[in-house]
């Protein structure tokens, strides 16, 4: 797709400041804090299975995030109960 810029130069695609879509991470799509890509990489490196779907990494990241949230909430409540400022 050739287009003409204001300075008389013809550009193609993304060259010289063309519009490019911003990539969206799996983490942002799932609305998670834990990195889905990192979990997927660990699943690959761990050789737990020959194949796994992308949704497996999303689900595992969600479960890990939920468990961390629960543990930190309970630890924070216990620290507050014992009048401590740190967990």
For residues 36 and 59, give the distance between their C-alpha atoms in angstroms, rounded to a whole number: 9
Domain housing 81: 25-87
CATH code where residue 39 lies? 1.10.20.10
For residue 20, the model assigns a pLDDT of 86
Q: Which of 46, 20, 87 is nearest to 38 (CA)?
A: 46
Contact 43, 12 (CB under 8 A): no
pTM of the predicted structure, to 2 decimals: 0.71
Tally the domains of the chain: 1
pLDDT digits (tens, 9 = 90+) for 34-80: 999 999 999 999 999 999 998 999 999 999 999 999 999 999 999 99
In a domain, 66, yes or no: yes
In the predicted model, is pLDDT for residue 12 greater than 70? no
């Amino acid at each position: 797709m050739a287009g003409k810029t204001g300075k008389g130069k013809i550009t193609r695609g993304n060259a010289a400041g063309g519009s490019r879509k911003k990539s969206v991470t799996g983490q942002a799509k799932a609305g998670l804090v834990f990195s889905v890509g990192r979990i997927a990489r660990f699943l690959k490196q761990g050789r737990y299975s020959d194949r796994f779907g992308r949704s497996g990494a999303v689900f595992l990241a969600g479960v890990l995030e939920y468990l961390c949230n629960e543990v930190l909430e309970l630890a924070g409540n216990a620290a507050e109960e014992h009048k401590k400022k740190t967990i």
